[in-house]
Amino acid sequence: MNVVAFKTACHAVARSIRGTVGQVTPAGVTPSFHTALITASGMRSTVLCHGVLPVVAFVASPPEAGDPLADFASPPAWADAFELGGFRPLGVGELSMPLASTDTSELAEAELEQVRHWCPRTVGELMFNWWD
């Protein structure tokens, strides 16, 4: 996913809740995701956007470089506004699903090799990671 599309969606969402968008950090070799901070009347929310798929997730605290993302949060009430920008908000249930019970047959061999090396336990750890 292009960081510009994500940033545009974040600004549209922020306007809809009379909020602002803080720093947007693009994905790179690592991490595999873009991040943005959205704030509005006493609320701060860190949004993650997958680097390839049009999905967003929310975490309780901003990610620390290299640390696994274990604190996925439920999408806030206003998260549905991301759908207007073509993004699907992911829930905690989807992100915490054990990878062992997930169909990974559509992953390329290089991706499966990374899975074998890094041993992610959940779908969220697979989708949002710091692997090289």
* Four-residue CA torsion sign, 70, 71, 76, 81: negative
54-110 residue pLDDT tens: 999 999 888 988 888 879 999 999 999 999 999 999 999 999 999 999 999 999 999
Q: What local confidence, expressed as pLDDT, does residue 70 receive? A: 73
Query: Mean pLDDT in the chain?
Result: 93
Structure tokens given for 9: 């969606």
For residue 17, pLDDT over 80 is answered with yes
What whole-number percentage of the chain has pLDDT above 90?
Answer: 85
Q: What local confidence, expressed as pLDDT, does residue 29 receive? A: 84
Ramachandran bin of 50, using left for φ above 0, alpha for ψ from -120 to 50, beta for the remaining angles = beta
For residue 14, pLDDT over 90 is answered with yes
Distance CA 18, CA 103 (A): 40
Distance CA 111, CA 132 (A): 11
Nearest alpha carbon to residue 65 among 33, 22, 24: 33
pTM of the model: 0.93
